[in-house]
Amino acid sequence: MKYFAEPGSLVRQIWGKADTILFIFAGAAAEFALNKAVDWLYFTGKLPADPIGRLFSTVVYAKKIIFSTEEEALKAIDKITSIHAGVEKSRGMSIPDWAYRDVLYMLVYYSISAFELLERKLSDDEKESVYDIFYRVASRMGLKEIPTDYQSWLPSRESHLQTDLARSNFTDDLFAQYKNHLGNFRYRILIESQKLVVPERVSSLLEFRSFKPVRPLVPIYQFSKKIGLDAVVKLILLPPKYREEIQTLDIKDI
């Protein structure tokens, strides 16, 4: 049976751990809020009503594709395209192609950034293998102007950061919704987690301070995993509404 991502592959190692996925989510939540096309996510009203659930579902859907068979993954990608087409029809205009690229770019960037934060640095070849998975998703969606390899993608990613991001009323409202849904304590954890994985451009636009008090705690958390105390930490840090879903993100047979 052919899988979209081969069993044992690096991308499965990245997306088979709840910890890594949570940092991918944190980074994407920050960058989503700055995207100039974020108004599309407000159009249906689903994002401001449940920002954590809406963005988390995007990340979980990507995980589903990675761990599916080739046939199932292609069907899932086609479903995404179909859903977006329905939203475009309702609004009477098309989602910009660059907005689709931006979402794929976020998944590539934060997959690498989160893994390197929690595990180890990746070689260029390993980064290429991660990029290839999302390039195949983009190709199936029919997206244009997608670089064919990781090295070619790097300047495209940098260009996106400079041209497609801006702080707006949507940005501030979305962060206010994050705080409203998470509460003060968990909201601060989200912000501090975002600082560890977002690029400088995102950090600058969001006016994050350079001080990162959570960074020294990362090795401590990694140690807690080794002695089986990470479940207690997650119980404290994660919103009760999503604990059960998050627990299912860990996959033993990668």
Domain ranges of the chain: 10-246
Distance CA 134, CA 138 (A): 6
Distance CA 171, CA 160 (A): 17
Q: What is the dihedral of CA 4, 7, 8, 13, to 10 degrees?
A: 60
Residue 173 tokens, joined: 């409202």
> What's the rounded mean pLDDT across residues 159-175?
94
> What pTM was computed for the model?
0.88
pLDDT tens profile 75-105 = 999 988 887 777 767 777 777 788 889 989 9
Distance CA 233, CA 148 (A): 40
Residue 26 scores a pLDDT above 60: yes
Q: Among residues 55, 53, 12, which one has the least CA distance to residue 32?
A: 55
Distance CA 135, CA 140 (A): 9
